[in-house]
């Protein structure tokens, strides 16, 4: 599991940064990915990655500002040309359906796959047994949402040495034991799953926030997250301007991560006024409050490792 950033600039693209988009890549079981926001040029950015549109099955939109959605019409249309592109579900705030329907109506666009658009409110918006996604409102000039992705806990590791000693050969019995089922050997010996399977492995938590001022819902969505992706449009000292435009400074993002108990913070959505050198200085400043912080840049991949047990 990892996050790959496709655009990390705020408002408009620069020579080195495209506007907002990030892919949540989950290699199991489908080797697929989800997209969070799709600013102008997102599908073009994907040519520099291993991501393929026929592996995309969900899109989550934070809000309807152009730098987060103007790439959607072209991306959705192009997906029709990919073999094996199955149904696609898109989540976002009210107004998303009208935007897509209007563009497709007036451009004569027809999709070769089923597209479902779900306009969301606060709460759990999906749970497929492997991942649960919770959305909540943030504070911005338009209705803006953050998303919390929670992975289900995984079965513990098999005690292979004990199984070998007890004469259990690799095969279907291993799967049964992993699923919590007991196994009776041909000799009549009972192998209890609880004796040979370790404790469950906690699921990972990834929080991806849309544009926002600091708020309680941001902290709640990011609580104990393994990775928090937070906007950082402005530098410290520009809190008044950040508030006026519905954004956050680097230090404010660091404070949210610290309050939430997040393990790692990836900052994105940097104002075009900052070049790479300036961004590095902003990060150094923010690390005084939250050391495990990094600046996202286009094509960066941030892994989300499992917690050791």
CA 139, 140, 145: angle at the middle one, nearest 5? 70
- The answer to whether 230 is a known ligand-binding residue is no
Sheet with 88-92, edge to edge strand ranges = 115-119, 88-92, 56-60, 32-36, 21-26, 2-7, 301-303
Q: What angle do CA 209, 261, 131 make, to 5 degrees?
A: 55
Residue with tokens 């286009």, as numbered in its chain: 298
* Contact partners, residue 55, CB within 8 Å, separation at least 6: 30, 31, 32, 33
- 269 annotated ligand binder: yes
Task: Report DSSP letters for 250-284, one per residue.
Answer: HHHHHHHHHHHT-S-EEEE-B-TT--HHHHHHHHH
26 is in an annotated binding site: no
The 10 Å CB-count burial string (b at 16+, else e) for 19-45 is bbbbbbbbeeeeebbbbbbbbbbbbeb
Question: Strands 32-36, 21-26: parallel, antiparallel or unpaired by DSSP?
Answer: antiparallel
Distance CA 166, CA 163 (A): 5
Prior bond of 74 cis (ω within 30°): no
Residue 65, marked binder: yes
Question: To 5 degrees, how large is the angle CA 205–CA 296–CA 243?
Answer: 85
140 is in an annotated binding site: yes
Distance CA 196, CA 104 (A): 56
Question: Which residues are tagged catalytic?
Answer: 67
63 carries a ligand binding annotation: yes
Give the 3-state secondary structure of residue 68: helix
Q: Binding site annotation covers 128?
A: no
What is the DSSP pairing of strand 190-191 with strand 183-184?
antiparallel
Two tokens, residue 251: 């230090």
Binding positions for Zn(2+) are: 63, 65, 67-68, 140, 211, 269
Binding positions are: 63, 65, 67-68, 140, 211, 269
């Amino acid at each position: 599991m990892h996050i790959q950033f496709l655009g990390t600039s705020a408002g408009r693209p620069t020579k080195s940064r495209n506007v907002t988009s990030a892919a949540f890549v989950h290699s199991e079981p489908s080797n697929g990915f989800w997209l969070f926001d799709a600013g102008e040029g997102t599908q073009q950015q994907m040519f520099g990655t291993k991501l393929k549109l026929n592996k995309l099955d969900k899109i989550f939109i934070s809000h309807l500002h152009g730098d987060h959605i103007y790439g959607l019409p072209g991306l959705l249309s192009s997906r029709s040309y990919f073999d094996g592109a199955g149904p696609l579900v898109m989540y976002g705030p009210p107004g998303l359906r009208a935007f897509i329907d209007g563009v497709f109506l007036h451009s004569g666009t027809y999709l070769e796959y089923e597209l479902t658009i779900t306009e969301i409110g606060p709460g759990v918006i999906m749970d497929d047994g492997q991942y649960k996604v919770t959305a909540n409102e943030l504070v911005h000039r338009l209705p803006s949402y953050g998303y919390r992705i929670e992975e289900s806990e995984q079965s513990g590791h098999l005690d292979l040495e004990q199984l070998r000693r007890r004469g259990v050969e690799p095969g279907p019995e291993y799967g049964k034991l992993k699923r919590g089922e007991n196994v009776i050997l041909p000799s009549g010996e009972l192998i209890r799953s609880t004796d040979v399977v370790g404790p469950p492995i906690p699921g990972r938590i990834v929080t991806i926030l849309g544009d926002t001022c600091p708020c309680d819902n941001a902290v709640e969505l990011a609580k104990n997250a393994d990775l928090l992706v937070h906007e950082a449009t402005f530098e410290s000292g520009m809190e008044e301007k950040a508030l006026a435009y519905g954004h956050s400074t680097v230090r404010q993002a660091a404070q949210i991560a610290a309050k939430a108990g997040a393990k790692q913070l990836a900052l994105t959505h940097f104002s075009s006024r900052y070049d790479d050198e300036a961004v590095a200085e902003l990060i150094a400043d923010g690390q005084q409050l939250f050391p495990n912080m990094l600046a996202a840049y286009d094509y960066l991949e941030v892994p989300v490792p499992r917690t050791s047990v």
